[in-house]
Each structure stands twice: as structure tokens, then as C-alpha cells.
Amino acid sequence: MSVARTVGIAVRALGALALLGFVLAAFTPAVNVLAHRLSAPPELRRADAIVVLGQAVQADGTLPPVSLQRTVYGIVLFKRGLAPVILFSGARLPSTDLSEAIVRADLARELGVPATAVLTESNVQTTRDEARRIADQLLPRGARRILLVSEGAHLMRARRLFARAGFDVLTAPSDGAVADAGDPESRLWALRGIASEVAARVYAALL
């Protein structure tokens, strides 16, 4: 069999798989089932600190929707009295003084969280960095049990990294208890999130 023919068959098989995957993802609840399996459940109990994981900050100093959702949920948990301190994580934008953590902390103070209860960690880029740096900051203060805030799928990976860094981790998914995506567009966005998280897990396992 010629190379061109073999490549042609392989490409067609991939295309058929992609089409089947698209139909299943967009028009059936398969993505919701997958999301439930890959997502950490809410474990909202009292902890020594709330840790809100970083996502991104825009160049104009505003928080993108996912970061804002995590921040606001962390503040809500603090206001419910689930921990005495809240730590915001988030990287600094290259060549600026702007960091996601500082923007979040400012927002928390504006929303009534006492300045003495707010901590930040800006020297991070990956979840692995966050686990290490935040352990350096919180464990010496005796804050071992933490309530970790991020999306449910991200928390599955983050929980392992923070537990390895010495924390007793409770998870607080900021996207709720995995809301079921009810239309094709929402399901495809959910699939994109799952694919991104799976790629991050593969990358973390390889390096």
C-alpha cells in the first residue's frame, strides 16, 4: 500500500472520529457525564485559610470572567466565616507592577474584607508554583487546612499538588457543583475546558 493511500485512510478515520466526537459532545449529555467525573466536589467546611488560585489579569488591570468568578466566590466563602484569612494568588504581568493577586486583593478590600485578613502571592505562573509558594507563606503561620477555590476540573489536579506541599485540602469549585451544560454551545465550551485540563495533566505528568 502506498504512503499516500495509508495517510488517506488514517486521515479519513480521524475525520470520522472527530465527527462522531463532535456529535456526541454537542448533541448528547456525554460532556456533562465527563465533567462530573473529572470535577472535584464541594467540601465547604471551616478551614485555616481560603486560597483562591490564579488565572489571569488583563493589561488594563481588569479580571477576566473566570478569575473574577473565583475571586468573588472566595470572598463569599470568607464572608460566610469559613476561614479567618483569604489568600489571593495570581501572576504579575511581565514588565509591570500589575499582578492578578493585587487586583483581587484590592477588590476584596473594596467589598469589605478587612485588609488584615487578605494575603497575596504574585510570584507564581503554574499551579505547581502556587502550591510551593503558598506552602512557604501559609504553613509557617500554622494554616494547614485550606479551602481551595478554582473550577472543579482544575481542583482535581490542584488538590494533589497542594496535598503534596503539606496541606490538608478542602475543595470549593467556583463553577458550582458542575452545572450541566444544556445547549450545544455550552457543551462545546465545557468540552474545551475539559480538553485544556486533560492537556495540563498530561503536561504535568511529563515534566
Partner 1 sequence: MSVVGDHLVLLTAGLTSIGAVVVGVRLLWLSGRALPAALTTVIDVLGLTLVFCLANGVLGVIVLLAERHLRGQQVSLHRVDDIALYVVSLLQAIAFQAWRTSGRTRD
Site residues (vs partner 1, CB under 8 A) = 8, 10-19, 26-27, 56, 91, 94, 125-126, 129, 182-184, 192, 196, 199-200, 203
Instruction: Name the minimum Å distance from CB 112 to partner 1.
Output: 31
Which residue number, 14 or 177, has a Cβ lying nearer to partner 1?
14
- The residues pairing with 82 across neighbouring beta strands, listed in sequence order, are none
Instruction: Name the minimum Å distance from CB 154 to partner 1.
Output: 11
Q: Is 32 exposed, middle or buried (0-12, 13-18, 19+ CB in 10 A)?
A: middle
Which residue number, 14 or 111, has a Cβ lying nearer to partner 1?
14
Which residue number, 144 or 201, has a Cβ lying nearer to partner 1?
201
Instruction: Name the minimum Å distance from CB 8 to partner 1.
Output: 7
Q: Alpha-carbon distance 38 to 43, whole Å?
A: 16
Q: Alpha-carbon distance 76 to 112, whole Å?
A: 11
Which of 21, 48, 44 has the alpha carbon at shortest distance from 34? 21
Instruction: Name the minimum Å distance from CB 55 to partner 1.
Output: 9
Which residue number, 168 or 183, has a Cβ lying nearer to partner 1?
183
Which of 59, 67, 75, 63 has the alpha carbon at shortest distance from 147? 75
Half-sphere exposure of residue 104: CA atoms within 13 angstroms, side-chain side: 35
Which residue number, 166 or 182, has a Cβ lying nearer to partner 1?
182
Instruction: Name the minimum Å distance from CB 121 to partner 1.
Output: 14
Cα separations in angstroms, 171 against 63, 152, 189: 22, 8, 23
